[in-house]
Chain A
Amino acid sequence: MRTFLSSILATSLLMVGTAVGDTTDQTWMNKVEVTKTGDHCVDDRNCFNRYHPAIPSAASANVGDIIVLHTRDALDSEFTLNSIPDDLATVDLGLVHPMTGPVSINGAKRGDAIEVEIVDIAPDEYGYTVIAPGFGFLRDIFTEPYIVNWHLTRIGATSPQMPGITVPYEAFPGSIGVMLGQAEIDMIKEREADLAGAGGVVLGPSTGGALPASVCGENGSHSDDCLRTIPPRENGGNMDVQQMQVGTRLLFPCFIDGCGIFAGDIHYAQGDGEVSGTAIEMGSITTLRVTKIHSGKGSSLDMPATIGNDQIIDMEPTRYYQTIGIPLKGKGEIPPSHQYLGGEVIANLENLNEDLTIAARHALIQMIDYIVAEHGLTKEQAYILCSVAVDLRVGQVVDVPNYVVSAVLNLDVFDKYRN
């Protein structure tokens, strides 16, 4: 009996000694993690806010590696849960947008294209949406600062400033792209200077707050050549395309050896149009994976492209309200988007010709009026809601002179319509 019991005990001890650990210990990913250091981009060697090929890589990765980027919000931590509209006048807009990276992809060369999968986006707990004076699609109508501070989970965004509303989690990279090469920088500078000369809104290279300072700052090696990150360009960057959801793959042309992939300015949610100028802005942990290098295929891409499956369907509302816009405006009115063209021809017209911008404006203003009248929000709340949950859609571009843009509000954002 004693021998039997001893055998059982010995066998048990042997099983414990060779037992398999928790499933968390089972790993297969080869991770390349680019973390944040310090409170702001200026404190962080893995952060930059300009484009130039001289900006050094933060890390390198192989095809198939899991690239984990710890990203900062679009305004580099200007706001907190306690921020108020009176804080906006003192914001340092020279810090926009901080990017994490760049990550060099081993084996990728200038002239190639890379395919990048968006694997995951883990949101921060806090996000914000603002109306900043002088910025946004209706900047001539909304001239005073406003801010909504959001509480974020993987389910939805809520805010004490927007009671009764939950914006669903539909996170995507507001900014994702690859580094520009010198030839592209030269070409872009020239065409943007031409536009500036014609009165267009162009932000040229500026050294104030430019990072990394050693390359792009006042005494940097290429201080006159570092492009701002605000406009999207052939390298992607600040595209703000919400269809770039988790599970999609993005194609980028490579302009430098290694490509230099980066991301930042991650959006918790956004309407097509981002009309107030900001989405639900947040920091994040964003996971990417380069799945393929297409050798020599960079020249076949004028711009980045998205490859998706059912991601768009998943974002569509189950109930909605839609307004219809055509290119109508007030007599004597010259909307800000058209001021650089001069007012002589269009000022006294009430109906413009083949104009998607004015049609979008018409649809959006009607939508704001609807939200105020039917759902009791203030005009500012309505404008913010449009920026994060209303999609501007092109209806048609053939029924001259009146192209149609519609504005579609996802009514699911109202708690009163959901369980």
Chain B
Amino acid sequence: MMVLVSGHSPWGQYQVYRQKHLLIMSTISDEPTYSFSRRLVTALNEVLPEANARPARAKHFERLHSLFSTKQMQIMVLSRSNADAAQKGEGPFAEFGPLSFKIIYQFGELQLLAQTDFPVQHAWMITNAIVNSTTISNFLDSPKDVLQLTNLHEGSALALQNDPMPLDPREENPH
């Protein structure tokens, strides 16, 4: 069922677009994030074509914060310093408040972040696609280093530990 969030997106079909694609949000205000999100989209669509990944560029931090805090976007790329500031509600995010998220993967100074309730299975699939993609392999931190990150998503940790993909909870408990 679509959840129509007030403001931002009055048209139900717009939400359908956002749900049909894995949108990787970035922002003009964090300069390297958009070009990297495009690289990430190519990598994901190479290994995980059913994700139908697309970049989504927010015009500034305020818009990024608004879309993520209202759960209209599930995934975003931020530089590590801005991710840290977002989590604490400091720096460019001081006016908007802190954001809660989990890390899916780290690429040098950039991090791929997800909602805290982002499904474990999906995080596993994205992480698995990242480490198996040929187009992004030069940009990855090593799985060993990523596993050390304190705020790592559970699904990502399972993938990096070579654990099997967890079942969709709906498949585990069909009733």
Contacts and interface: CB of A to CB of B under 8 A. Distances in A.
A51 to B, nearest CB: 15
Contacts of B55: 86
Interface in A82-137: 84, 86-87, 89-90, 92-94, 96, 132-135
A208 interface: yes
Contact of B8 (A87, A94, A139): A94
A139 B11 CA distance: 12
B119 to A, nearest CB: 21
Interface stretch (B56-64, B101-109, B120-128, B133-141): B56-64
A84 B28 CA distance: 11
A291 interface: no
Nearest to B5: A208
Contacts of A89: 17-18, 21, 23, 54, 56
A209 B7 CA distance: 5
Interface string B62-104: 0110110000010000000000000000000000000000000
A143 B13 CA distance: 10
B158 to A, nearest CB: 29
B63 A135 contact: no
Nearest to B72: A90
B59 A93 contact: no
Contact of A94 (B7, B21, B59): B7
Interface residues of B, number: 29
Nearest to A89: B56
A308 B57 CA distance: 44
B17 A90 contact: no
Contact of A203 (B10, B18, B25, B38): B10
Given A86-B57, A89-B54, A90-B56, A135 B11 contact: yes
B17 A93 contact: no
**Looking at B23, B56, B67, which has the most chain A CB atoms within 10 Å of its CB?**
B56
A208 B25 CA distance: 21
B4 to A, nearest CB: 9
Contact of B59 (A87, A96, A132, A139): A87
B1 to A, nearest CB: 16
A289 interface: no
A86 B8 contact: no
Interface string A190-207: 000000000000010011
B64 to A, nearest CB: 8
A159 to B, nearest CB: 20
Nearest to A145: B17
A94 B6 contact: yes
Contact of B6 (A84, A134, A206): A206
A92 B11 CA distance: 11
Contacts of A143: 17
B57 to A, nearest CB: 5
Given A90-B63, A92-B7, A139 B13 contact: yes
B9 interface: yes
A134 B13 contact: yes
A134 B16 contact: yes
Contacts of A224: none
Interface in A132-159: 132-135, 139, 143
Contact of B54 (A84, A86, A134): A86
Nearest to B12: A134
A209 B17 CA distance: 21
Contacts of A134: 11-14, 16-17
Contacts of B5: 208
B36 interface: no
A90 B13 contact: no
A208 B6 contact: yes
B96 to A, nearest CB: 14
B6 A78 contact: no
A133 B14 contact: yes
B10 A90 contact: no
Interface in A62-91: 78, 84, 86-87, 89-90
B56 A135 contact: no
Contacts of A132: 14
A78 B25 CA distance: 16
Contact of B57 (A90, A96, A206, A230): A90
Given A93-B14, A209-B8, 9 more contacts: A86-B38, A89-B54, A89-B56, A90-B59, A133-B13, A133-B14, A206-B7, A208-B5, A209-B7
8 contacts: A94-B7, A132-B14, A133-B16, A134-B13, A143-B17, A206-B7, A209-B7, A230-B10
Q: Closest 7 A-B residue pairs measured CB to CB?
A: A208-B7, A134-B13, A208-B6, A133-B17, A89-B56, A94-B7, A90-B58
